[in-house]
């Protein structure tokens, strides 16, 4: 079975200095499968899903499972919240068993994540959550303590209700010390997560003078926004247009433009 490491939170405290675990030669090797799962479950359904946690290290450890809501900020960072904090919280209908367990070296633990989706005609679109599996902090000589955290991300959609949509809500441009700066704000107006790919074209007198590729596969969660910040070449004085085109996986792409003067 293929395992995928999703997230590692591992640090050591030595005299107040945070050091990566790998630099200390500490072999953490907790893995989870699946790392990401997308389900379609009708309302009123009970569903059980297996999650496999594997310890491929040479040490036994204690693991605790925690369920959280999450979103992704405008800048692309994850923001974790308690279950039920978000309108599209999935794990408020879930339970996991066991919540804590000991796992020996080079062995596997099978977890059961159970869902009881209410019979509610108002449910629509996508619901999401993350299950973390974190080892108990282990202390070594010299005050070293470390732990590892990995995750399974779960998306559930209500069949026949998913809407993929989005718009460029705002654009701006200003002169920076290293070149012209562009900001493109995308808003997810659908009811499921999307991934963004796009380009920004700079025009002068109707002619393209520069094209800038946006970072690929930018995640925007349901109800979220993504601020794309790009740096282009320094421009000669004049009047310019910047045109952004974004593919978010919908039926058609979205775009926007802004006109600006360079002095």
Taking the model in full, what pTM does it have? 0.86
Question: What is the rounded distance in angstroms from the CA atom of residue 92 to the CA atom of residue 115?
Answer: 9
Determine how β-strand 36-40 pairs with β-strand 149-157: parallel
pLDDT at 153: 97
Instruction: For residue 2, tell me if it sits in a domain.
Output: no
Last residue of a domain, one of 111, 138, 157: 157
Q: Which of 127, 133, 134 is nearest to 193 (CA)?
A: 127
pLDDT at 231: 97
86-145 pLDDT tens trace: 999 999 999 999 999 999 999 999 999 999 999 999 999 999 999 999 998 866 556 666
202 and 128 inside one domain: no
Host domain of residue 243:
166-262
92 and 170 inside one domain: no
DSSP reduced 3-state for 23: helix
pLDDT at 146: 75
- Contact (CB, 8 A) for 125 and 157: yes
Last residue of a domain, one of 136, 157, 178: 157
191 and 125 inside one domain: no
125 and 249 inside one domain: no
pLDDT bracket for residue 167 (50, 70, 90): very high
CATH number, domain containing residue 255: 2.60.40.10
pLDDT at 14: 28
134 and 24 inside one domain: yes
Last residue of a domain, one of 99, 131, 157: 157
93 and 22 inside one domain: yes
Instruction: For residue 3, tell me if it sits in a domain.
Output: no
- Asked if the model's pLDDT at residue 78 lies above 90, the reply is yes
258 and 186 inside one domain: yes
43 and 135 inside one domain: yes
145-162 pLDDT tens trace: 678 899 999 999 999 999
Number of domains the chain is built from: 2
Instruction: For residue 4, tell me if it sits in a domain.
Output: no
- Asked if the model's pLDDT at residue 193 lies above 60, the reply is yes
Locus of tokens 């479950």: 41
């Amino acid at each position: 079975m293929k395992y995928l490491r999703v997230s590692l939170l591992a640090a050591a405290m030595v005299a107040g200095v945070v050091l990566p675990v790998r630099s200390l030669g500490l072999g953490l090797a907790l893995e989870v499968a699946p790392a990401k799962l997308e389900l379609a479950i009708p309302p009123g359904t009970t569903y059980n899903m297996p999650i496999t946690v594997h310890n491929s290290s040479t040490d036994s450890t204690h693991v605790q499972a925690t369920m959280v809501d999450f979103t992704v900020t405008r800048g692309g960072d994850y923001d974790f919240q308690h279950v039920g904090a978000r309108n599209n919280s999935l794990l408020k209908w879930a339970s996991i068993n066991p919540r804590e367990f000991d796992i020996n070296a080079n062995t596997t633990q099978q977890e059961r994540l159970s869902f009881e989706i209410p019979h509610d005609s108002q449910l629509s679109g996508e619901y999401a959550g993350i299950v973390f599996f974190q080892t108990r902090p282990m202390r070594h000589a010299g005050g070293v303590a470390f732990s590892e955290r990995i995750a399974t991300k779960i998306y559930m959609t209500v069949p026949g209700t998913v809407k993929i949509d989005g718009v460029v809500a705002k654009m701006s441009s200003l002169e920076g010390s290293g070149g012209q700066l562009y900001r493109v704000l995308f808003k997810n107006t659908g009811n499921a997560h999307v991934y963004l790919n796009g380009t920004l074209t700079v025009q002068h007198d109707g002619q393209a003078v520069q094209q800038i590729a946006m970072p690929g596969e930018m995640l925007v969660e349901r109800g979220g926004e993504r601020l794309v910040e790009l740096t282009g070449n320094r421009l000669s004085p004049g009047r310019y247009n910047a045109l952004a085109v974004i593919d978010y996986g919908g039926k058609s792409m979205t775009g926007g433009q802004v006109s600006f003067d360079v002095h």
